[in-house]
Chain A
Amino acid sequence: MVSPAQPRVAAPVDAVALETRAAELATRSIKKEAKRCGLLLALTMTDLTTLEGRDSPGKVAALCRKAAHPAPGLPSVAAVCVYPDLVPTAVQALAGSSIAVASVATGFPSGRTSRALKLDEVRRCVDDGASEIDMVIDRGAFLAGYHEAVADEIAAVKQACGPAHLKVILETGELATYDNVRLASLIAIEAGADFIKTSTGKVKPAATMPVVLLMLEVVRDHYLATGKLVGVKAAGGISSAKLALRYLAMVNETVGDLWLTPERFRFGASSLLNDLAMQLARLDAGTYQRPDDFGKD
């Protein structure tokens, strides 16, 4: 990073008004068929995730089986998301399915490692069969004002991705202000991101409705100006079907139909899946369900 930093400034965001609008969208009441549709859509938008130090081949294999069959009669999820060294396990377990293998990369979650190592990691993941790469931006550089360097790194990673699609994790919890989130979103999009993603899930707060609302507004305006569709992934802290439906209402009313698809919107989650299955079962049975009736992998 070359001193002095040359920070970029993006248009301002008013936090109070943004949060008020998000809170208002959270009051949407989704019932009956609309609820069923929403729950199924959320399910197909899930990136089933395991990112723990103690992840083992057995754990990943079980997760992949769950991804393919979340519960009897339900469709499969969008992707499975794992650490780089477990990509081969996931690829094998998911062979023949339409579920993508997504890998985190670039020194996830901190990003505090050399450019060379980051790019090498990305190439290996893609070689091993990952079709989606979830990278982290350099938050230290961003907060110090080295915005060009941040953009540069994203572009380099995009190139290393080859055919794989790139999600850029902003780690909004560390960016702290909405103004920063808007700027980081713009930088990521301009540098070639296919998706912008809120969080690693390792830092609180992770995804919040106001932050995702802001990111949706950015991709909306970008699409209207350029015709390019960039996706949004909300990751971390979304463990209830109720919350997932609120996010979908927000997507529905902010950017509309073009994003109401796994191609353009994802939930990065693990326990969300069982709650979606449980709520679908409740709709069918008409009675409240029991967590233990749903497989825990």
Chain B
Amino acid sequence: MSETIDPAAPSTPAENHRPQLVFGERWVYDPAPQSSDHVQLAERYGLFIDGEFVAPRSRRYFATSNPANEQHLAEVGQAGPADVDAAVSAARAAQQDVWGPMSPRDRSRYLFRLARLIQERSRELACVESLDGGKPIRESRDVDLPLAAAHVFYHAGWADKLQLAFPGSKTSPKGVVGQVIPWNFPLLMATWKLAPALACGNTVVLKPAETTPLTALLLGQIIEQAELPPGVVNILTGDGRTGAALVSHPGLDKVAFTGSTGVGKQIQRTLAGSGVDLTLELGGKAAHLVFEDAALDQAVEGVVKGIFFNQGHVCCAGSRLLVQESIHDVFVDKLLRRMERIRVGDPMDKNTDMGAINSGAQLARIQELVQCGVDEGAVMHQSSCTLPEKGFWFRPTVFTGVAMSHRIARDEVFGPVLSVLTFRTPEEAVEKANNTAYGLSAGIWTDKGARILWLAERMRAGVVWNNTFNRFDPASPFGGFKESGFGREGGRQGLEAYLRFHDDPFTQG
């Protein structure tokens, strides 16, 4: 503790003698590491096919490491076409002989078991999630895990009530579903995919992301513990080739993909004309609209969380800030001051607010786009935090003086980078907000209820958060407009993707 600061006098003023706050010199937090002794990772994990962990046919494995320090964590299998074949066959047999014919009540009970086990092993799963992916333990512990368990609980309760969800329609499971998920919320995305699929009587082949396979594999262990019949859920680790092999496998009835817009378009192209149902949850470039009558400090908090939560690795991240011109300076002032308080560092420290960038590749992409922002003439502001020596790190960054024609206003960075623009009227705000190929989410900040509803009506976005942001709930349908994808996850509407409606005349193309 410093004894030398005179508490009564302001610190040295800036050149223009404006009052300045001082942070971080009187009281420094000690490291507060989350204990992870109870976490025991195997040296090597096989693929989870037909109820057991087996070696990939090719006997090829690859390493997964901790992006915060580049330390090796474990080896996981590289699933090839033969493994995909085996998994799809197992899923088909399980669907036809066991899971499909099973009473909905029994399916419901299996899912409740799964939910409980996820709850019980939460601490372990949260630790592994942070180690494998780089997100702060506070987030995996307080956000990812509770939401994952809740998602399974919620869908367990739908399994025996499908006739209530779509009254008047006769439905059956689609059959065998292939699901490819991203690296930003590995376990959560796994539950978002598995839970509705299983609740509707389908069986699954799931492919977790290349850089974050571990929690999906632990989920495989949990599925064993819950004694789910073999083949109901199959988990194939691997790189992009595994995903490609899976989505194009002729044995699938449906494909669900969450990931980049580029890959999503590829998948849609691959499946064109095949009659296989597809849902996509892709990228975004969401805008916050902040009006002068907003609760400003809370809006700042929401904007900060909207872009720096999970290092900005969020499809629905609020990566554009459209602020009413009359409050631009006040708001940006508060925003930059708040940004300085973000604690960037060891994901396993309980006080860390922002963790590591998921991979070297992602870091390079962020750096490229940020350089672009500088080159295009926007003004860059970055946190002055110290970054760790090893691992993949990027400072919280804000660009002011951005125009809609700049790449940093149009391209998804998928990192902790915010672009600030202004507007004068509600109509102008909507126009700028919608001026994008994406349409996943939006944030509206104003004290006026009528304005919220008027704007929400006009926002071309699948999720509109009002005076809040990044709120998720299993009961709340989530998904995008336009090139952010199609289909919804969560809520009653989220079940549609996993059911065959007997009176539906359409085939997807």
Contact = CB atoms under 8 A, between A and B. Distances in A.
Chain A in direct contact with chain B (Cβ < 8 angstroms): yes
Interface of A: 11-14, 16-18, 20-21, 27-35, 37-38, 40-41, 217, 220, 223-227, 229, 248-249, 252-253, 255-258, 260-261, 263-264
Interface stretch (B19-27, B53-61, B103-111, B169-177): B19-27
Nearest to B17: A227
A223 B30 contact: no
Across the A-B interface, the 9 shortest Cβ-Cβ residue pairs: A17-B298, A29-B32, A261-B7, A14-B295, A256-B23, A14-B298, A29-B350, A257-B22, A257-B26
A17 B302 CA distance: 8
B506 interface: no
Interface string B270-309: 0000000000000000000000011111110110000000
Nearest to A16: B468
Contact of B298 (A13, A34, A249): A13
A41 B27 contact: yes
Contact of B29 (A34, A255, A261): A34
Contact of B27 (A14, A217, A229, A248): A248
B453 interface: no
Given A14-B298, A229-B10, A220 B1 contact: no
Given A29-B351, A35-B30, A257 B467 contact: no
A257 B8 CA distance: 11
Contacts of A28: 29, 350-351
A37 B21 CA distance: 21
Contact of B23 (A32, A225, A257): A257
A253 B341 contact: yes
Interface string B464-486: 00011000000000000000000
A13 B294 CA distance: 8
A31 B351 CA distance: 11
B28 interface: yes
Given A41-B27, A226-B19, A257-B22, 8 more contacts: A12-B294, A18-B297, A29-B32, A30-B32, A31-B31, A37-B1, A257-B23, A258-B10
B85 interface: no
Nearest to B19: A227
B124 to A, nearest CB: 19
B503 to A, nearest CB: 42
23 contacts: A11-B296, A14-B295, A14-B298, A16-B467, A16-B468, A17-B468, A20-B301, A21-B301, A34-B29, A37-B1, A37-B27, A40-B1, A220-B21, A224-B18, A227-B10, A249-B29, A253-B23, A253-B341, A256-B22, A257-B11, A258-B7, A258-B22, A261-B26
B447 interface: yes
Contacts of B301: 17, 20-21
B5 interface: yes
A257 B293 CA distance: 30
Contacts of A261: 7, 26
A27 B142 contact: yes
A63 B25 CA distance: 34
Contact of A263 (B8, B142, B295, B297): B8
Nearest to B469: A17
Given A34-B28, A258-B21, A264 B295 contact: no
Interface of B: 1, 5, 7-8, 10-11, 18-19, 21-32, 138, 142, 293-299, 301-302, 341, 350-351, 447, 467-468
Residue of A11, A252, A257 with most chain B CB atoms under a 10 A cut-off: A257
A227 B7 CA distance: 14
Contacts of B18: 224
A226 B447 CA distance: 27
Contacts of B294: 12
Contacts of B468: 16-17
Nearest to B20: A224
Given A11-B296, A14-B295, A33 B30 contact: yes
Contacts of B298: 13-14, 17-18, 21
Contacts of A217: 297
B30 A31 contact: yes
Residue of B30, B138, B297, B341 with most chain A CB atoms under a 10 A cut-off: B297
Contacts of B296: 11
Given A12-B295, A258-B10, A258-B22, A34 B302 contact: no
Contact of B1 (A14, A41, A223, A224): A41
A255 B294 CA distance: 21
A50 B293 CA distance: 43
Nearest to B297: A217
Contact of B295 (A13, A20, A41, A229): A13
Nearest to A227: B19
Nearest to A27: B138
Nearest to A252: B27
A35 B351 CA distance: 14
Contacts of B447: 12
Residue of A40, A226, A252 with most chain B CB atoms under a 10 A cut-off: A252
Contacts of B24: 256-257
Nearest to A263: B7
B478 to A, nearest CB: 20
B166 to A, nearest CB: 33
A257 B28 CA distance: 11
A264 B297 CA distance: 21
Contacts of B21: 220, 223-224, 255-258
Nearest to B13: A227
Contact of B26 (A223, A260, A263): A260
Contacts of A34: 27-30
B443 to A, nearest CB: 12
A264 B7 contact: yes
A28 B353 CA distance: 10
Contacts of A31: 29-32
A17 to B, nearest CB: 4
Nearest to B353: A24
Contacts of B32: 29-31
Contacts of A229: 8, 10
Given A14-B467, A17-B468, A260 B10 contact: no
